[in-house]
């Protein structure tokens, strides 16, 4: 006899977004009733705020009491064209920025607030009152893409597939023609020396040097089109993790940026990078390039959930059908530990570790998982 209770999906918390803080040691979740913050490992509730209204986007500054929040869901706490800097120690908003269109993305540092709108990037000094420093036009940026490092900011250019790099101190702008199709996601390395990008095609991930804008690596996720959900460099900057809507986490070496301290003397980056999938076939001339491309050295399945991506996207701009990816968000704790979080009714936290197997190869193994909303 089946004695399980019927689950009523009309009640209970629903997460609208999930994002790691700057060092990945915490992650914040926007809820249809407020927001909460969790320690990353172990996954434990740290802060919970009930507004009885929706927070569609929340971004925590380091491990401070400051969070950037934007209204969302069916009953937004704030209009979607407002960005609020919330001081959780004082339990109040300390900065409010209002725009003509919906706020689609935000990045924080101790000195900057970067706001992404559909066709522009706004940069403010993190001060009271905030001082607007600059505005840049972009091509359509429905994912709210923007990356903020210590010395530069990266965001989409004025043409699809382009990336603009802006030096914070000088204001100098560089343009990287990263892809021929629109950007889907991008990320800066922890040291700011590398930039990884993926387009809507989702087959290739490209890595560029931010110092001279040259391409340093091209990584093949697969041959069929996919949605790249998240990209993240390892703390040592020599590996890149990638998630896609194929429910697969891939981990790549970065051959041109690789540091030999993590490799045995017998395995060079070029040998392990180029030949790890196809072996000697990768060296035969005139074969299709998929045989010589760099593939991931390890992969694992993560739970994307039964919810369809479009129904669980964060507040799309009015009149459009595009929104924010809420699944497969990557955070590295160290060079061996990767966390993957996702939102929706089935908000999940998953922990993966890189281990060397008996075959001498490195493998990505899921070590634990949790429904962080407790449902």
CATH topology of domain 178-311+324-375: Methylamine Dehydrogenase; Chain H (2.130.10)
Q: Answer whether 333's CB lies under 8 Å from 327's CB.
A: no
Q: What tokens appear for 34 in the block?
A: 């407020």
Q: Please, which residues have CB within 8 angstroms of residue 212's CB and are 6 or more apart in sequence?
A: none
pLDDT over 60 at 3, yes or no? no
Tens digit of each residue's pLDDT (9 = 90 or more) over 16-32: 999 999 999 999 999 99
Distance of CA 374 to the CA centre of its chain: 24
Q: What tokens appear for 1 in the block?
A: 């006899």
CA–CA distance, 303 with 327 (Å, rounded to integer):
9
CA–CA distance, 201 with 66 (Å, rounded to integer):
36
Residue 167 backbone dihedrals phi, psi, to 5 degrees: -75, 130
Buried b (16+ CB within 10 A) or exposed e, 96-122: ebeeeebbbbbbbbeebbbbbbbebbb
pLDDT at site 296: 94
Of 284-288, 315-319, 358-362, give the lowest mean pLDDT range. Answer: 315-319
pLDDT at site 309: 43
Q: Categorize the per-residue pLDDT at 369 as very low, low, confident or very high, splitting at 50, 70 and 90.
A: very high
CA–CA distance, 110 with 208 (Å, rounded to integer):
26
pLDDT at site 324: 52
Residue 256 backbone dihedrals phi, psi, to 5 degrees: -80, -15
270 sits in which H/E element: helix 269-275
Q: What are the structural domain ranges in the chain?
A: 178-311+324-375
CA–CA distance, 35 with 17 (Å, rounded to integer):
9
Tens digit of each residue's pLDDT (9 = 90 or more) over 107-136: 999 999 999 999 999 999 999 999 999 999
Q: Categorize the per-residue pLDDT at 66 as very low, low, confident or very high, splitting at 50, 70 and 90.
A: very high
Tens digit of each residue's pLDDT (9 = 90 or more) over 200-245: 999 999 999 999 999 999 999 988 999 999 999 999 999 999 999 9
* 8, 42, 348 from 345: Cα distances, Å: 11, 21, 9
Tens digit of each residue's pLDDT (9 = 90 or more) over 173-207: 999 999 999 999 999 999 999 999 999 999 999 99
Question: What DSSP assignment string belongs to 74-86?
Answer: SSBSS-TTEEEEE
pLDDT over 60 at 140, yes or no? yes
Give me the mean pLDDT over the 256-264 stretch.
Answer: 43
The three-state secondary structure class of 162 is strand
Q: How far from each other are the two terminal CA atoms of the chain, in whole angstroms?
A: 23
Give me the mean pLDDT over the 335-353 stretch.
Answer: 95
Give me the mean pLDDT over the 85-96 stretch.
Answer: 96
pLDDT over 90 at 278, yes or no? no
Distance of CA 211 to the CA centre of its chain: 22
* 85, 88, 133 from 64: Cα distances, Å: 12, 9, 23
CA–CA distance, 127 with 212 (Å, rounded to integer):
32
Counting beta carbons within 10 angstroms of the beta carbon of residue 65, is it exposed (0 to 12), middle (13 to 18) or buried (19 or more)?
Answer: middle
Give me the mean pLDDT over the 341-364 stretch.
Answer: 94
How many beta carbons lie within 10 A of that of residue 345, not counting itself?
A: 18
Q: Categorize the per-residue pLDDT at 331 as very low, low, confident or very high, splitting at 50, 70 and 90.
A: very high
Look over the chain and give the mean of its residue pLDDT values, rounded to a whole number.
86
Q: Categorize the per-residue pLDDT at 11 as very low, low, confident or very high, splitting at 50, 70 and 90.
A: low
Q: Please, which residues have CB within 8 angstroms of residue 147's CB and are 6 or more apart in sequence?
A: 107, 153, 154, 155, 186, 187, 188, 195
Q: Look-up: residue for tokens 């000094």? A: 125
Residues pairing with 364 in the sheet? 354
């Amino acid at each position: 006899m089946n004695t399980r209770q019927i689950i009523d999906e009309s009640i209970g918390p629903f997460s609208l977004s999930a994002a790691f803080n700057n060092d990945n040691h915490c992650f914040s979740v926007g809820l249809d009733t407020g927001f909460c913050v969790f320690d990353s490992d172990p996954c434990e509730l740290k802060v919970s705020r009930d507004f009885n209204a929706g927070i569609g986007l929340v971004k925590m500054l380091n491990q401070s009491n400051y969070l950037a929040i934007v209204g969302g869901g069916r009953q937004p706490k704030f209009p979607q064209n407002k960005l609020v800097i919330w001081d959780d120690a004082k339990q109040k908003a300390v900065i409010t920025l209002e725009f003509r269109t919906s706020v689609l993305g935000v990045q924080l540092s101790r000195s900057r607030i970067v706001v992404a709108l559909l066709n522009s990037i706004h940069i403010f000094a993190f001060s009271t009152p905030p001082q607007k420093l600059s505005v840049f036009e972009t091509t359509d940026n429905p994912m709210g893409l923007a990356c903020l490092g210590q010395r530069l900011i990266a965001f989409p250019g004025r043409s699809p597939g382009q990336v603009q790099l802006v030096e914070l101190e000088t204001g100098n702008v560089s343009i990287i023609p990263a892809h021929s199709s629109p950007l889907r996601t991008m990320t800066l390395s922890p040291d700011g020396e590398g930039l990884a990008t993926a387009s809507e095609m989702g087959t290739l991930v490209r890595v560029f040097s931010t110092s001279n804008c040259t391409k340093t690596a091209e990584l093949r996720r697969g041959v069929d089109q996919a949605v790249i959900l998240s990209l993240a460099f390892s703390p040592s900057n020599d590996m890149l993790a990638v998630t896609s809507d194929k429910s697969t986490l891939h981990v790549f070496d970065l051959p041109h940026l690789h540091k030999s301290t993590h490799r045995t003397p017998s395995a060079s980056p070029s040998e392990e990078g180029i030949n790890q999938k196809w072996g000697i076939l990768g060296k035969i001339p005139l074969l299709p390039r998929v045989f010589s491309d760099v593939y991931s050295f390890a992969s694992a399945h993560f739970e994307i959930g039964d919810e369809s991506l479009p129904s669980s996207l964060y507040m799309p701009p009015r009149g459009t059908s595009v929104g924010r990816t809420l699944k497969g968000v990557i955070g590295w704790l160290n060079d061996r530990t990767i966390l993957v979080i996702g939102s929706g009714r089935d908000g999940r936290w998953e922990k993966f570790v890189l281990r060397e197997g008996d075959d001498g190869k490195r493998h990505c193994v899921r070590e634990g998982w949790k429904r962080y909303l407790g449902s």
